[in-house]
Amino acid sequence: MKHQMNFNSMESQIENFPLYPRELPIERYVTLDTTPNTTYHGAYANVNICAVSPLQKNQYSLGQIYAQGGPPAELNTIQAGWGVSPDLYGDSKTRLTGFWKVQGDQKSAGCFNVLCPGFIQVHQTVGFGTILEPSQTGSTTKLYLNFIIEQDNQLGNWWLTLKGNINIGYWPKDIVPHLGNGASVIRFGGETGSMASVSNPPMGTGYLPEAKYRYACYFARLKILDSQFKEQEVKPDDMKIYRNADPKCYDLLYPGYSGEQHRQAFLYGGPGAPADQCGPL
């Protein structure tokens, strides 16, 4: 059993958590989402670690796994993967990046990484902010990390693990109450954020998925942990593509089974565009 700390109830802790910013950046997503009306206790993927062209302040670009639960007005989210954010890190290097949020009508809470109480890091040297070596665009050798977000079936906390055995830390179930009994949706894919005063930044490598594996960014060997805590490869009939941007800005290509190396996999990304050219949110 993983070592875990006791964490006080959400009700006693929420007052000390920072509010989620009222004025959100322009957030764009292209993700592959689960569709069945069931419960999930985790997600697995080989995540291609990508580099985007240098970003500026008020821009970020992510490749993430998400676990979500609760009604839309009270949505709880935890997510982790790679990210590039000059605002968070002061540079455009690709780093291990996470986020959590509890949405509410009157008050919302959450933050990136460990900028607020929430995520508890247990690894002594690897954590959010660790630099990840990205693949070289155009190279036939692609670098990836195996990311696992899974719920402990005894205490209910949500763990982030790399390479199958590097336990980074966990989100206590009490800070994400709608994930206490599992997630209702698992998502895999890309996300960008920007202010209206700057362009929508590149996603992935900056190439659209039609550029294929040599140039585009991808997720491979997609799996979920089902309602019985059993590991299952995702099924194409149970997945759908979500996009809130013009496909010329960002897109996702999911062919399903993609050979023994990648199994269930998809490509995603795009160049971005000026703020008014990626379509309505």
Q: 169-209: per-residue pLDDT in tens?
A: 999 999 999 999 999 999 999 999 999 889 999 999 999 99
Identify the bridge partners of residue 39 per DSSP, sorted by sequence position: none
For the chain, which residues make up each domain, given as ranges? Answer: 10-275
Helix locations, 48-97, DSSP H = 86-89
Structure tokens at 145: 């990390």
What 3-state DSSP class applies to 48? strand
Give the CA dihedral 34, 38, 42, 43, nearest 10 degrees: -20
At 91 the pLDDT is: 96
Give the contacts of 273 (CB within 8 A, at least 6 positions apart): 199, 200, 246, 248, 249
Alpha-carbon span 90 to 93, nearest angstrom: 9
Helix locations, 36-186, DSSP H = 86-89
Q: What is the mean pLDDT of each run of 10 residues along the chain (281 residues)?
A: 42 41 74 96 98 93 98 96 96 96 84 95 97 80 90 98 94 97 98 94 97 96 98 98 97 98 98 90 69
Distance from the Cα of residue 253 to its chain's centroid: 18
What is the pTM for the complete model shown?
A: 0.91
At 14 the pLDDT is: 38
Task: Please report, for residues 78, 154, 166, 175, 244, the alpha-carbon distance to residue 171 in angstroms, rounded to integers and kept in the order given.
Answer: 8, 14, 16, 7, 28
